[in-house]
């Protein structure tokens, strides 16, 4: 994930989807509290604390498909009470991508659930770009 100091939330979400990998690297044991100092640069990510959602609806006749991204950079996602356990990302997930298929006069159905980032607070690696523009890449 790349965060630039002047990014808006939609730009952060696009970067988040494109740059998260599935491999896990252990950091030096320090606790991630949404404030990062790496390569001599400080980044305050507290504005990303809490759950955020991005949604896109695509017409896929005779149905429509909703792509839903839920993420919380600073903590695990809460379980969704109105969604079956089998239709949710695994416990411990920080970013979850879900596809929902809808058809007129039929109940919506979840067709895909993908954990994009499942990591403890110590399983994140950080790399800063010190040239202009300055940004941070977060990998789990």
Predicted confidence (pLDDT) per residue in 57-105, tens digit: 999 999 999 999 999 888 889 999 999 999 999 998 889 999 999 999 9
Residue where the block lists tokens 């789990």: 140
pLDDT confidence bin for 11, thresholds 50/70/90: very low
Q: How far apart are CA 119 and CA 125, in angstroms?
A: 11
Percentages helix, strand, coil for the chain (3-state, rounded to 5) are 10, 40, 45
25: left (phi over 0), alpha (psi -120 to 50) or beta: beta
Handedness of CA 113, 119, 125, 127 (dihedral sign): positive
How much is the pTM? 0.69
Is the model's pLDDT at 12 over the cut of 50?
A: no
Burial 81-118 (b: 16+ CB within 10 A, else e): eeeeeeebbeeebbbbbbebeeeeeeeeebeebebbbb
Phi-psi region of 112 (alpha: psi -120 to 50; beta: other; left: phi over 0): beta
Q: What is the pLDDT of residue 96?
A: 96
- Assess whether pLDDT exceeds 90 at residue 17: no
Instruction: Return the percentage of the chain with pLDDT > 70, whole number.
Output: 72
How much is the average pLDDT of 1-29?
42
pLDDT score of 131: 85
| Amino acid 78: pLDDT | 94
Is the pLDDT higher at 14 or at 140?
Answer: 140
pLDDT, position 124: 72
Q: Look at residue 28 and tell me whether its pLDDT is greater than 80.
A: no
């Amino acid at each position: 994930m790349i965060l630039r100091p002047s990014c808006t939330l939609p730009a952060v979400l696009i970067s988040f989807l494109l740059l998260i990998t599935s491999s896990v690297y252990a950091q030096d044991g320090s606790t991630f509290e949404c404030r990062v100092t790496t390569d001599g640069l400080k980044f305050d990510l507290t504005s990303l604390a809490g759950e955020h959602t991005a949604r896109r609806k695509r017409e896929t006749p005779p149905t429509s498909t909703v792509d839903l991204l839920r993420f919380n950079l600073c903590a695990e996602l809460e379980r969704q009470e109105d969604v079956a356990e089998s239709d949710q990302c695994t416990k411990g997930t920080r970013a979850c991508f879900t596809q929902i298929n809808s058809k007129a006069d039929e109940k919506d159905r979840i067709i895909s659930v993908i954990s994009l980032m499942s990591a403890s607070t110590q399983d994140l690696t950080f790399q800063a770009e010190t040239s202009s523009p300055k940004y941070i890449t977060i990998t789990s």
